[in-house]
Structure 1
Amino acid sequence: MNQFARAVAGVAILGIVSACASGGMGGAGSGQGPGTDQTVSAPEQPWPIKTREHVDLWLHGFAMVQEDTTFVPFFKRGYSSEMTVLKNRANVVTQLDANRDKLRARLVVNPALINAQFVPLSFASWDELSEVTEQFLRAEGNPNAAQSREMAMAFSFLAANFPTGADRDWLRLFVQSLRDESSRFYHSYWLQQQRERAGVLSVVDTLWQRAYRPKMQRFLNNTGQASGDVILSLPLNGEGRTQSNGKQANIFTVTFPVRESESAEAIYVIAHEAIGNLANTAVTDNITPEQRRTGVGERYTSAAAVRGGALLLQRVAPELVDGYARYYLRAVNRPAGANPMTTLATVFSLPETIRDALNRQLEVVLGGI
Structure 2
Amino acid sequence: MAGYYNPSSPSRSRVDESIKIAGSATSSMRSYYTTSEEHTHSCERLLQNREPRSPSRSRGNATQSPFLRLPAEIRLQIYALLVLPRRPSDLIPSYEKVESSAQDSFDYDRRERGTDRAWAANLSNPVLLIRTIEGNRYAQRYGPNKPRGEHKRSDYTVRADRYRLRCMKTTYHCVNNPRIEDHLGILRANKQIHAEAADLLYSSYTFDFDTHVEAIIPFLNDLTPFARSCVKSMRFVKRGLAYDKEFDRAEWTSAMRYLTSSSSNIHLRRLQLGIVAGRPGANGWDRIATYQPQDFTLLRDHEGMQWMQYLLELRGLQELDVSAVVEHCAPATNSMAMANFIRFSASIESGFAQYMRDAVVQPCVV
| TM-score, normalising length: structure 1 | 0.29
**Which structure has the larger Rg?**
2
Bigger share in helix:
1
